[in-house]
Structure formats: C-alpha cells, structure tokens
Amino acid sequence: MSLPHKFIGVAVIWNDRGQILIDKRRQGGLMGGLWEFPGGKIEPGETVEECIKREIWEELGIEIQVGDRLMTIDHIYSQFAVTLTVHHCRHTNGEPQPLECDEVRWVTLDELDFYTFPEANFQIINALRNIVRG
C-alpha cells in the first residue's frame, strides 16, 4: 500500500524584529486548528521558490523575498506522506491577512513553544533554534 505523497513549499518568514510568521489551520480540515509555517503544494512546472512566493501571496496577501533553503523533511503521517522544503524568507511588503486560515501571528522563537504544530515541525523548530543559538 502506498500513501499519497504531498510535496510542499514552506516559508519561515522573518520580519525586522526577528519574529516569525505562523498561521492557524482552519478548524475542521486536515490538521485543523494546528499552527504551521505558511506554505502549500508545489504545482507542476513550478520551482519551490515560486511555489512559496505564490502561496504566501494567496494565503496571506503579503510579499516576501525567498532566501536560502533551511532543510528538507520527509515525514509520514498515518494517511499520507509529505516532503516539506523549508526556506528562510524575508517579509518585504503588506500586512498579513488570514485569507485561507483562521489566524496569523508574528512570534519569537521562544514563543513557538506555546503553539501546537504538526509532528514534522519539531525538526524545523529545532533547526531554527540551533541556527539562532549556535
């Protein structure tokens, strides 16, 4: 049996105050109510960078500059598998709006502990802490 496999571009969006943008997935849907780093499915013919820029515009209505890749994570959930390609991004323009989620918030690395993320995100959060704190 092979699980469906989703390829996702994920953005760690930094602002000038060293905060990161997170969003709360819509209640009811898959992983509803969990917080995540914004992003979505890579479409055919699209690079990860293009996917991230497009998704962030569609989901949050802001402009970003997509920077270096932080990491790629393969994770298997009970119903599907995901490959998350995570890039550092910089917020350049616009006020984030919850266009396709329930809420958006700027948080510090420390504050991430107060939010519940999907299982695969532990690796992302650990990597961010290692980078920032050496």
Residue 66 in contact with ligand 8DG, rule: CB under 6 A: no
Closest CB 42 distance from ligand 8DG, rounded Å: 10
Residue 128 in contact with ligand 8DG, rule: CB under 6 A: no
Structure tokens at 35: 């917080």
Distances (CA, A) of 99 to 23, 24, 61, 103, 131: 10, 11, 7, 9, 31
Q: Which does 37 bind (CB under 5 to 8 A by kind): Mg ion, ligand 8DG, none?
A: ligand 8DG
Residues whose CB falls within 8 Å of the CB of residue 20, separated by 6 or more in sequence, listed in order = 12, 13, 14, 37, 106, 107, 108, 109, 112, 128
Spell out the SS3 assignment of 80-122: CEEEEEEEEEEEEECCCCCCCCCEEEEECCHHHHHCCCCCCHH
| Segment lying near ligand 8DG (by CB under 6 A), choices 3-11, 64-72, 88-96, 108-116 | 3-11
- Pick 18 or 97: Cβ nearer Mg ion: 97
Residue 40 in contact with Mg ion, rule: CB under 5 A: yes
Q: Which does 96 bind (CB under 5 to 8 A by kind): Mg ion, ligand 8DG, none?
A: none
Residues of this chain that bind ligand 8DG (CB under 6 A): 6, 8, 10, 30-31, 36-41, 82, 84, 118, 120-121
